[in-house]
Structure 1
Amino acid sequence: MQRFRQPFWLVTVFTLLWSAAASAADYPDFVTLVERYSPAVVSINTKSEPKEKDRPWHGHPSIPENSPFFDYFKKFFDQMPELSPQPRSSVGSGFILSADGYVITNAHVVEDMDSIIVGLSDRTELPAEVVGKDTRSDIALLKVKADTPLPTVKIGNIGKVKVGQWVLAIGSPFGFERSATQGIISALGRNLPSDNYVPFIQTDAAINPGNSGGPLFNLDGEVIGVNSQIYSRSGGYQGLSFAVPIDVAVDVVEQLKAGGKVARGWLGVLIQEVTPELAQSFGLDKPRGALVGQVMDDGPALAAGVQAGDIIVAFNGQPVRHSSELPLMVGRTRPGNKVPLIVIRNGKEQTLTVQLQELPEETKLEQAIAEPPNRNRLGLIVTELPADQHQQGESGVLVKDVKEGPAASAGIRPGDIITRINNAEVANPTQFAELVGQLPTGRPVPVLIKRNNGALFLALTIAEKE
């Protein structure tokens, strides 16, 4: 029987076509996404008129009138030519949340701007007013007036977002309106050093200056984030982009609509991460939770019985794995709510009930407040606290000098105030020396210090062979 054989070239062509078709079927249809949802994406053009404080050489230098140099400098600055400051302008992005003209963008896009113009996809330009803005989440809500209903976006469910999913960003990088870029979600819940109240979405979608405030879409055309920041050493895209999760943005928007401001819960503690050394010194099986370095006066935590040295391992029924998670949980809880707080104190769990207050406007709280420990193996010399600090009710000993030894290897520096060692309060240098003499060897013990108006626990280990 003669077998039917296809020509080799025909088999090769069929294989290539089949592979191309399979690849096309697996690849996202970004064309349809852009055509369908880009009309709800807007450009934000802003302008700020020059202020008197922006004028070069504004006023005279702060020199006392009785100074021998006063007349000379006054004459010098009076004779300088007037330089006129120029208006500032910038471009950002945003998206339409409702058909009646509510628009979301970043707070930094409209900060200190006198004129805000929203550009629609049909080239219509509409003046906008700021309904409210929240610098902590970097979200601003604008309002424009249009003769006809405006196209809107769909809001996604952040709970369904997974690392590795495709995403699409649309915005105005460098002023190029409605530019589309694609990527995947690189990570969720990123905590950035300057932002303690936003669990950022990290993506590798190309984001550049001008994309700020634009939407981050999933493949269903739903907005899952507001593009906000990039990590870059050059000022341009380098593969690390961050977006505010849409649930955070919507919560901020609802509060801005209702009262023009955002109210966040405040616990009233200064915290730090639990390192492996600190975990061992506190008797934990592994690092977890948020270590309380200081309890703020007249704060909710103080009223609830929280103490320095407590390790917060759960807040309102949610486990606290890292210290960076606690500010997010507290901030999203409404002030006035009573919530359970589980802490580890002296190796045992305790449940406390705390009634949150509103986070003060100008106070940076509930964040790791000190730099990582200095690993240089130095020693220390301590003295009494200055008289004025004693009068203010402070206790402890002041570190005056450092020499080689285990204390400095834990990160203690000159100028630190040691207030507690191995869970014992420090009163004066004599008592401090007694406590040091009683310290165990071969295992870390916690030391509480004050540094730069903040509190910090360090893990100190005295070697078995001294």
Structure 2
Amino acid sequence: MSTAFQWSLRLVIGMVVLAVSLPLPSFARVISPDFVELSTKLTPTVVNIRTVKNIKPAQRSQRSPQGNQHDKFFEEFFGRFFDEMPQQRPRREQSLGTGFIIDAEGYVLTNNHVVSGADEVMVKLADGRELKGEIKGVDEKLDLALVKINDGKTFPFAELGDSDALQVGEWVMAIGNPFGLAHTVTAGIVSAKGRVIGSGPYDDFIQTDASINPGNSGGPLFNASGKVIGINTAIIAGGGGGIGFAIPVNIAKATVSQLRQSGKVTRGYLGVRFQPLTPELAKSFGLESDKGALISSVEKEGPAEKAGLKAGDVILEFDGKAINEGSELPRYVAVTPVGKKVKVLFARDGKRQSLNVVIAKLKDGEQAAVDGDGGAESDKIGITVQELTRELAGRIGIREAKGLVVTQVTPGSPAEEAGVTTGAVIIEINGQRPDNLQKFNAVLSTIKKGDIVRLLLRRSDGSIQYVGMRAE
């Protein structure tokens, strides 16, 4: 063996030894959890829920004593015919879902849509026992329900984790009752957080690729430590696969506490109407980014107005939580205890400010305050504006008799692309209130091509909204 070859061999062996002795990068050290151990430990905490609804048969309408003789003859004939038919019996409609035990006393958390309208709720445990469940309370807006079971013994229960600490890419495991197949275990990763799927006012879902199917609703989504970080709620199926969504457990914690205590949920109320902040609007307000919730209107005598918030303010943080998307604000407000003094960080005229707001109670059906044709024609943004008269206001169906109204929007114009529609009343243009056409034209005359134009509009449905666009 040549000397050169020996040195080469020694060099290769040395490099291998060095590589083995070095610590692996963090991504290389990540291994999947022991799903066998997790499923063995956690399956007893998951229950199958069977509900029964008693559907009454449709009642035959009462025969009216009114009408002519011809009508009465047929009513009496068919009346006797149906009276002689065998009576229809009530129909029992059954459905299946999942839940999980959250304490030793036997409280079970599930989805509201699993037990909604049920005349009977039966809870089947992993050991085969089936117990009658009592609905202690529901939260329709979050689609959550709390059910109680009891057999005189303590129950194994799942520990609630911290969904805020969850990261995209983490391993997760679901246990449920898909298609009636009891205690089915599936695994996957967290695909995304903060998903809005249009299911309600407080959308904030965890997206996962762990297999979730009909019957999984209300079941737990566990992290690798065996703690519940979500409640499986919805699926979007198609293309040979499905996407699952789970309610973050941190959102559910406040609801569970209230349902246990009173059987109902009380939510916080700020008293603002907000809208997403577009890059154009952000620039027009002198902001460096489009993160935040833009206040388009403030309810009179509401918590926000009392604290000093105004339309045009951009909320950047609420109670220490950053507002990256406008849709986050109502979720944070809703779970804030009534009467709590909350610090709000906001931007006004491009400057950051803060104030304290005392959160009020959201009443049933309550919403934030709703106050957003020869005339001036602007080729710069593509709208025609006319001063309001009582006759014009009545013709377009609005109450205002003063101010300016959009009577025409040019197709393909910046205004149309920004969402301006005819019938909208102009409250502000670039922060100024144009009470008449002269003031409106005066503001327009200062706008150059490429400048940002910001309008505050009151829509025909009464909503108030900012829109931003670039002048042509």
Rounded Cα–Cα distance in structure 2 between residues aligned with 1:117 and 1:281? 58
- Indicate which of 377, 402, 405 corresponds to 2:409: 402
The 5 A counterparts of 1:280-319 are 280-319=283-322
1:42-53 aligned at under 5 Å gives the runs 42-50=47-55
Gaps of 5+ in 2: 2-27, 373-380
Question: What secondary structure, in the 3-state scheme, does the structure 1 residue paired with 2:214 have?
Answer: coil
Q: Which residue of 2 aligns with 1:457?
A: 466
Tell me which of 422, 425, 433 is aligned to 2:433: 425
Amino acid at match of 2:36: V
CA distance in 2, matches of 1:391, 1:195: 29
CA distance in structure 1 between the partners assigned to 2:162 and 2:282 by the alignment: 36
The number of residue pairs the alignment matches comes to 422
Counterpart among 240, 244, 258 of residue 255 in structure 1: 258
1: CA distance between counterparts of 2:220 and 2:344?
Answer: 36
User: Structure 2 length as normaliser, TM-score?
Assistant: 0.79
For 1:435 and 1:97, locate their aligned partners in 2 and report how far apart those are by CA, in whole Å: 61
CA separation in 1, counterparts of 2:258 and 2:402? Answer: 43
CA 1:317 to 1:222, structure 2 compared with 1: closer, same or farther past 3 Å? closer
Q: Distance in 2 between matches of 1:263 and 1:246?
A: 18
**Distance of aligned partners of 1:286 and 1:136 in 2 relative to their CA distance in 1, 3 Å threshold:** same
Distance in 2, Cα, partners of 1:88 & 1:398: 54
Residue 329 of structure 2 corresponds to which residue in structure 1? 326
Q: Distance in 1 between matches of 2:447 and 2:284?
A: 12
Shift of 1:83: 7.7
CA distance in 2, matches of 1:206, 1:394: 58
Q: Contact 1:449 / 1:456 at 8 angstroms: preserved in 2?
A: yes
Q: Which protein is bigger by CA-based radius of gyration?
A: 2
Q: Secondary structure at the match of 2:148?
A: strand
Report the alpha carbon displacement of residue 383 of structure 1 after superposing the two structures with TM.
5.0
Tell me by how many angstroms 1:95 deviates.
0.7
Query: Could you give the per-residue CA deviations for residues 297-323 of structure 1, whole angstroms, max 9, x where no partner exists?
Result: 332112122221111112223332221
Matches within 5 A, 1:109-124: 109-124=114-129
CA distance in 2 between partners of 1:94 and 1:229 (Å): 14
Alignment of 1:56-455 (within 5 A): 86-232=91-237, 238-363=241-366, 379-384=383-388, 386=393, 396-404=403-411, 405-429=413-437, 431-451=439-459, 452-455=461-464
**1:282, CA displacement in angstroms?**
1.5
CA distance in 1, matches of 2:369, 2:173: 34
- Deviation string, structure 1 residues 39-83 (Cα, Å, up to 9, x no partner): 11111111111257xx388789xxxx99x9xx79x969x879698
1:158 Cα deviation (Å)?
A: 2.9
Counterpart Cα distance in 1 of 2:307 and 2:39: 52
SS in 1 for 2:237: coil
Distance (whole Å) between structure 2 residues aligned to residue 101 and residue 115 of structure 1: 17
Amino acid at match of 1:322: E
Contact 1:190 1:200 in 2 (8 A): yes
The whole-number CA distance in structure 2 between the counterparts of 1:151 and 1:211 is 20
**Are 2:300 and 2:369, in contact at CA under 8 Å, matched by a contact in 1?**
no
Match of 2:419, SS state, is coil
Q: Which residue in 1 is equivalent to 2:19?
A: none
| Unpaired stretches in structure 1, ≥5 consecutive residues | 2-22, 370-376
C-alpha displacement at 1:389, in angstroms? Answer: 9.9
Letter in 2 for 1:399: V
The 1:398–1:159 alpha-carbon spacing in structure 2 relative to 1, beyond 3 Å, is closer
Percent of aligned pairs with the same residue?
38
| CA shift for structure 1 position 428 | 4.5
Q: Aligned-pair distance for 1:429?
A: 4.9
* 1:179 positional shift: 0.8
8 Å Cα contact 1:271-1:366 kept in structure 2 = no
Query: What is the CA deviation profile of residues 425-452 of structure 1, one whole-angstrom value per residue up to 9, with x for unaligned ones?
Result: 2435554444434444421121011233
Aligned to 1:147, the other structure's residue is in SS state coil
Tell me, yes or no, if the aligned pair for 1:155 and 1:246 is still in contact at 8 Å.
yes
SS of the aligned residue for 2:286 comes to: coil
Q: Which amino acid aligns with 1:400?
A: T
After superposition, the CA RMSD in angstroms is: 3.5
Cα drift, residue 107 of structure 1: 1.1
Q: Tell me, in whole angstroms, the C-alpha distance in 2 between the residues paired with 1:322 and 1:378.
A: 29
- Is the deviation greater in 209-218 or in 322-331? 322-331
Kept in 2: contact 1:399–1:416 (CA 8 A): yes
CA distance in 2, matches of 1:175, 1:443: 60
| Pairwise CA distance, 1:233 | 5.1
Segment drifting more, 129-138 vs 78-87: 78-87
Q: Which deviates more, 196-205 or 207-216? A: 196-205
CA distance in 2, matches of 1:400, 1:187: 43
Q: Report the CA distance shift for 1:139/1:409 in structure 2 as closer, same or farther (over 3 A).
A: closer
